[in-house]
Amino acid sequence: MEQELHFSIDLVPYRSAAKSILFLSPFQLFSVQEKLPDHTKVLKFHGDFYCIEYHKDEVACNGLLFNNIYQQPHVALTPEAFQEITAVIDKIDHLKYSHASFDQAITKTYLQLILAIASKQKILTNKLSLPTTSRKDPIDGFEQLLENEYKTHKSVSFYAAYYNLSSTAFTKKVKQKWGKSPSTLIQERIVLESKRLLHLTPKSIKEISAELQYLDEFYFSRFFKKMTGVSPKVFREEVGLSIVAKKSML
């Protein structure tokens, strides 16, 4: 039986098959309980090198592999997909460390292939995990409700009341369905939008704070630092403004 990995991202525990691919965004808190397998490979790229916002139609992964707080951040790979992705990463390493000039166009093509394979695997996994019953739970619409209301309503009690449930009963239902408490999902959604605005727009931190409906810019900054380990200012300095944001300034 294949080894199972146990790890956490932003203090939320997960487990996956050893042959999986995991997707992280800048300044997410990652820790693993056991020693990583010898076949572990790490591939890092900046949004300006391969911007998912620009190429989401080509690899179908925006919101599927990255930046989806409702789904698992990892994808279990078939042996064939694992071998194929591993081979492509080896090609990138060879290209990077060879004496030949580092060809960004070829590297982007390799990266696009990895994302496309992973996207295909995730879509297949999602199809296999679809419920066999047509019975619906009222809280199935919580994702859309949160998308509509997270800027205005940040307390669990608001969402629980919407479904005529106590906060305790609502929290239990949400954890059973998404594996996270509603307070965690609310916080992760705010952080996700904060990162998007800091990286993809030239808006000031004060403007971003107001857009997320925080009355106090400094309270927003403290919340962001608590969740990511860095302040909004440091996050923007480290990650930088994306080419999307720079073009909007022209």
- CATH number for the domain spanning 150: value is 1.10.10.60
pTM for the predicted model, two decimal places? 0.81
φ, ψ dihedrals at 127, nearest 5°? -65, -40
Shared-domain flag, residues 9 and 116: yes
Given a contact cutoff of 8 angstroms between Cβ atoms, the answer to whether 9 and 33 are in contact is no
In a domain, 34, yes or no: yes
In a domain, 206, yes or no: yes
- Name the domain boundary from 128, 163, 196: 128
Shared-domain flag, residues 157 and 243: yes
In a domain, 133, yes or no: no
Shared-domain flag, residues 50 and 115: yes
Shared-domain flag, residues 186 and 73: no
Within 8 A by CB and 6+ apart from 47, the residues are 53, 199, 239, 242
What is the number of structural domains in the chain?
2
- Name the domain boundary from 94, 128, 162: 128
Shared-domain flag, residues 14 and 115: yes
Range of the domain at 10: 4-128
- Name the domain boundary from 128, 153, 183: 128
* Per-residue pLDDT in tens (0 to 9) along the chain, 250 residues: 457 888 998 888 898 888 899 998 888 888 887 788 777 888 888 877 777 666 666 666 667 788 888 888 899 999 999 999 999 999 888 877 765 555 778 888 999 999 999 999 998 887 766 555 556 788 999 999 999 999 999 999 999 999 999 999 999 999 999 999 999 999 999 999 999 999 989 999 999 999 999 989 999 999 999 999 999 999 999 988 877 677 666 6
Shared-domain flag, residues 45 and 71: yes
65-116 pLDDT tens trace: 888 888 888 999 999 999 999 999 998 888 777 655 557 788 889 999 999 9
Shared-domain flag, residues 105 and 20: yes
Give the Cα separation of 13 and 19 in Å (integer): 18
Shared-domain flag, residues 185 and 156: yes
Cβ neighbours around 82 below 10 Å, total? 19
Taking Cα atoms as reference points, which of 174, 231, 156 lies closest to residue 198? 231
Shared-domain flag, residues 117 and 143: no
In a domain, 220, yes or no: yes
Shared-domain flag, residues 90 and 150: no
In a domain, 101, yes or no: yes
Shared-domain flag, residues 10 and 114: yes
Shared-domain flag, residues 68 and 103: yes
